[in-house]
Amino acid sequence: MAMSLKAQAAAAALKEVKPGMKLGIGSGSTVNELIRLLAKMVDDGFEIIGVPASSYSEALCKELGVPLTTLDEAPVLDLVIDGADEVDPQLNLIKGGGAALLREKIIAAASARMLVIADESKVVDTLGNYPLPVEVVPFGLEATRQMMQNSFDAEGLQGEMILRMLGEEPLVTDNGNYIFDCHLKVIRDPKSLAKRLEVIPGVVEHGLFIDMAVRAYVAGTDEIRVLEP
Ligand code: DER
């Protein structure tokens, strides 16, 4: 059976994984394909140790036998491979669709290199059509919302902020926080917006990954493209 686009992108990125590497493993459905392929390599004797970026990735790695450690045991990683919700030409990303953005960014920052794996639907000219996830502390939520709105206004951005729900309750991340999904449509200056969000006390982290990814493996219907900034 032909490999899915996500699996093809994952297989291409896995060529950069060398035996004995400490590998950051992101989160999401494309990363799940990576984990499945990685588990087959481990079954064939490939030596690797992974640090998962979400409880979902951790559970799948454990289920399939991918050896794991923690960032406390391995604070410097050789490589991280992760998905994205949007990828622009500079390889700036929007991430967080799966609510794992804080751990994903911590692991990406601890990794020497970050690779992105995605199908071609994620590639955009300008970030923002995908709602920007922002992880916030539950305390003072409405004050934080107002400060975020001020940041958007200062950037000339319009957009609704929607508290991400899980059923009837706000979704709680692996770190005990909430997420606002910000429907900004077009983010002309992601770096500037990132800086404005980072100074808001109630903002824990945002889903703009700026100047972090060094290569993206993008699976299209008839080819794998390798994008670099
Ligand atoms: O939530 C995340 O950051 C995921 O990596 C997301 O950006 C990609 O998820 P997908 O591979 O399921 O599309």
**Fold held by 132-201:** Alpha-Beta Plaits (3.30.70)
Q: Measure 223 CA to ligand 1 centroid, in angstroms.
A: 21
The per-residue pLDDT for range 149-185, each reduced to its tens digit, is: 999 999 999 889 999 999 999 999 999 999 999 999 9
Give the pLDDT mean for 178-207: 98
**Residue 130 Cα, ligand 1 centroid: separation in angstroms?**
12
Mean predicted confidence (pLDDT) in 175-199:
97
Read off the pLDDT of residues 44-63 as tens digits, 9 standing for 90 and up: 999 999 999 999 999 999 99
pLDDT score at 121: 96
pLDDT at 76: 98
Mean pLDDT of 191-208: 98
Ligand-binding annotation for 167, yes or no, is no
HEC states along the chain?
CCCCHHHHHHHHHHCCCCCCEEEEECCCHHHHHHHHHHHHHHHCCCCEEEEECCHHHHHHHHHHCCCECCCCCCCCECEEEECCCEECCCCCEECCCCCCHHHHHHHHHCECCEEEEEEHHHECCCCCCCCEEEEECCCCHHHHHHHHHHHHHHCCCCCEEEECEECCEECCCCCCCEEEEEECCCCCCHHHHHHHHHCCCCEEEECEECCCEEEEEEECCCCEEEECC
Find tokens 């958007």 and name the residue. Answer: 152
If pLDDT is split at 50, 70 and 90, which confidence band does 131 have? very high
CA of 32 to the centre of ligand 1 (A): 10
11 pLDDT band (50/70/90 cuts)?
A: very high
Q: With a 6 A CB cut-off, is 104 part of the ligand 1 pocket?
A: yes
CA of 83 to the centre of ligand 1 (A): 5
Q: Looking at 104, 120, 142, 160, which residue is catalytic?
A: 104
Say if the ipTM goes beyond 0.95: yes
Total-model pTM:
0.97
Domains 5-124+210-220 and 132-201 share a fold: no
Query: Ligand 1 atom closest to Cα of 32?
Result: 11
pLDDT tens per residue across span 26-38? 999 999 999 999 9
Ordered by start, the domain boundaries in the chain are 5-124+210-220, 132-201
Pick the CATH number of 5-124+210-220 from 3.40.50.1360, 2.70.98.40, 3.40.1160.10, 3.30.1540.10: 3.40.50.1360
Residue 86 catalytic? no
Using most ligand atoms within 8 A of CB, pick from 88, 95, 134 the residue to mutate for ligand 1: 95
Atom of ligand 1 nearest to the CA of 29: 12
**Averaged pLDDT, 213-224:** 95
The C-alpha atoms of residue 38 and residue 211 are separated, in whole angstroms, by 26
Closest CA to 114 of 81, 161, 78, 139: 81
pLDDT at 136: 98
pLDDT of residue 1: 73
